[in-house]
Amino acid sequence: MDFSAIQESINKIEGVILSKVVHEKGEISEIHVLANNNKSPKQIVRDIESALYVIHNYKIDKNKISIASIQGEELLNKEKRVKFSSVELRNKQNKVECTVTLSYDDKEYTVEEMDINTTLNRKKIVLKTTLKAVEEILGLDNIFDGQEVIINTSIGVSVVTVIVITLITGKEEVLVGSALVKNDEYEAIARAALDAVNRTILMTTK
Which tens digit of pLDDT belongs to each residue from 9-20?
998 898 887 788
Looking at the structure, tell me whether residues 95 and 19 fall in a common domain.
no
CATH number of domain containing 150 = 3.30.160.270
State which residues form the domain around 7: 3-69
Whether 39 and 86 map to the same domain: the answer is no
Same domain for 114 and 185, yes or no, is yes
Instruction: For 133-195, give the DSSP string.
Output: HHHHHHT-SS-EEEEEEEEEEETTEEEEEEEEEE-TTSS-EEEEEEEE-SS-HHHHHHHHHHH
Task: State which of 25, 51, 69 marks the end of a domain.
Answer: 69
Residue 76: per-residue pLDDT: 44
Whether residues 57 and 96 share a domain: the answer is no
For the chain, the residue count is: 206
What is the reported pLDDT for 16?
85
Coil vs helix vs strand at 14: coil
Q: Of 186, 183, 179, nearest to 88 (Cα)?
A: 186
∠ CA 169-138-9, rounded to 5°: 35
In 93-143 the beta strands, taken as DSSP E runs, fall at 95-104, 107-116
Give the count of beta carbons closer than 10 Å to the beta carbon of residue 201. 19
**37, 112: one domain:** no
Q: Taking 90 as the threshold, does the pLDDT of residue 147 lie above it?
A: yes
Which of residues 42, 69, 96 is at a domain's end? 69
Listing from the earlier edge strand, what are the strands of the sheet with 83-92? Answer: 83-92, 95-104, 107-116
Please tell me whether residues 151 and 177 are part of one structural domain: yes
CA-CA distance, 18 to 156, in Å (whole number)? 33
Q: Are 195 and 146 in contact (CB under 8 A)?
A: no
DSSP lists the bridge partners of residue 108 as 103
Instruction: For the chain, give the percent of residues with pLDDT over 70.
Output: 92
d(CA 160, CA 140): 26
Q: What is the pLDDT of residues 153-204, one digit of tens each?
A: 888 889 999 999 998 777 788 999 999 998 899 999 999 999 999 877 766 6
- Judgement on whether residues 114 and 65 belong to the same structural domain of the protein: no
Rg of the chain in Å (alpha carbons)? 17
Domain CATH for 60: 3.30.300.30
Total number of domains in the chain: 2
pTM of this prediction? 0.65
Q: Is the pLDDT of residue 78 over 50?
A: no
Residues 34 and 56 in one domain: yes
